[in-house]
Amino acid sequence: MSGSPRELIIVGSGIAGLYVAIRAREEGLRPLVLTKSTLTDSNTRYAQGGIAAAVAEGDSPHLHWRDTVRAGDGLVDRAAARVLTEEAPQRIADLVRWGVPFDTVDGRITLGREGAHSRSRILHAGGDATGLRIEETLQRRVQEGGIDVQEQTVLRALRVQGGILRGLRVASPHGTEDLTAEKVVLATGGAGHLYYESSNPSVATGEGVAIGFCAGAVVRDMEFIQFHPTAFYREGAPRFLITEALRGEGALLKNSRGERFMPRYHPLAELAPRDVVSRAIVAELRRTGDRTVFLDASSIPPDRLRVRFPTIAHFLEAQGLDLSRDLIPVTPVAHYMIGGLATNLHGETTLRGLYACGEVASTGVHGANRLASNSLLEGLVFGERIVGTLRDGRAWEGVPPSPREMGIPRDLPPDSGEDGVEPLRSPEDLRRLLWTNVGILRDRTGLEVAVRRLERRAMEGGALPPGTEDGRDPLADSALTALLIAGGALTREESRGSHFRSDYPRRRAAWKVHLDLRSVARGGPPEKA
């Protein structure tokens, strides 16, 4: 490998990656941050709702923990959720210390409320521009010096020798390069853009999961993709996210007849968990035959809307709509990858030397359904834990195995044969396949078709058999990540949280476990339970 070994390489420039970099610098390290686009392009900047923490009188980490566990539908790792909620106020203090301009009234931080939260505990900045304000602040801190940044650099492979991570291979405008590193932190974000209807930017294609998997890291709970209930829908317009915080302020969901429908589907109505609201909207659209439902914010004072949701109001004005008066057409979209590289409480994966945090990681705090505004917080809390581990020189612990495991590739019931599998020729083919067959509502027939097509594309592009490091094309990495999502969804024969199978519409006690996905050679061990 070329170049001098680095103490720490961080792949990704969202909130998780930048937080780790800044804290590592404070601990005396000089990290290298790699980002496949620019320092300013990540999912973090699009986070409207805010960041959750129990910082108000009458709230507590225990209440935050309880809400997190309830939202996760039986699969939240309770110890991880304790870490998340108890350390949240300290991480908010870090952001305040660094200059994040959280919104205040009379010198006190203002707090919003979102679905499934029992208290108002959502901090926001710039109204509905929280992610952008946090990202801008962290970028300024990074640019103060002591942190090396390399943009337009794509991770292609992790280099492993003797079961230990030794470095990575990257591609940049200057060519392909091998970098050596003592420790690598993957903070590459999610995979929402793999879906045809998505709130995510084009960089969110999940290659960190695929590359970690190929290197031997265990991937966990990939079947749980959270769909955001309310994105602006109009032909030819972007799928602009309409934050859940708007419903927290009193906006109502209505159908094309002007009828409020959420009370028919859940006692919490518009503040029900996201998976419930998304499926309720799908059910309402099927019942009415419409393309969209509508958000009605007319009961909220216009001056409050302008202050609290300036980004949304500005976007809607450009579309010829007034947030305070007009019905806003919305529909569910793919939003958040709950699963990812399995980690322990210190951000360690199953591959020695490889850490993960943020959306690429599966820490267990979200269970089967993420509680609103816990995602930015997760990147901070477990990013801090990674830095603490590096500082203290802790012995590597690794990740305990799950009772359920599935090998990839996996055998499927015979059909017409591989020659009958329709090829995936483009990213759009893949995105349409995931949206149609591995979307909000799933069943065995659609999932089996998806798995066959994705497995074929991953093999043709060099991402399978697992362990291949060189020669993969980007679409193959996307297909492998999509295959992990579809394979997990096909294996989990129940409905839980954000995973809904119309052929198994109820929770099953036998599936109150995490599902680990592990790479195996073709013809290797079969799926086991």
Taking the CA atoms of 32, 38, 41 and 43 in sequence, report the sign of the dihedral they define: negative
Which residues, at least 6 apart from 110, have a Cβ–Cβ distance to it below 8 Å? Answer: 102, 103, 104, 123, 124
| 258-263 contact pairs (CB < 8 A, 24+) | 261/293
Q: CA distances (Å), 298 to each of 257, 263, 343, in order? A: 16, 19, 44
Q: Are 5 and 180 in contact (CB under 8 A)?
A: yes
Q: CA distances (Å), 435 to each of 27, 193, 289, 333, in order? A: 44, 10, 19, 9
What string of DSSP letters covers 183-209?
A: EEEE-----GGGSSSBSS-TT---HHH
Residue 526, token pair as written in the block:
């079969």
Question: Which residues are the active-site residues?
Answer: 274
CA distance 280 to 273: 11
Q: How many CB atoms lie within 10 A of CB 317?
A: 11
CA distance 506 to 125: 39
Give the DSSP H or E segment for 107: none
Strand order in the sheet with 51-52: 51-52, 122-123, 111-112
Q: Are 157 and 151 in contact (CB under 8 A)?
A: no
Q: CA distances (Å), 9 to each of 1, 30, 134, 137, 147, in order? A: 15, 9, 22, 21, 10
Report CA Rg, the chain: 22
Taking the CA atoms of 225, 36, 347 and 490 in sequence, report the sign of the dihedral they define: positive
CA distance 10 to 187: 7
Which residues, at least 6 apart from 138, have a Cβ–Cβ distance to it below 8 Å? Answer: 15, 18, 19, 22, 98
Instruction: Map residue 474 onto helix, strand or coil.
Output: helix
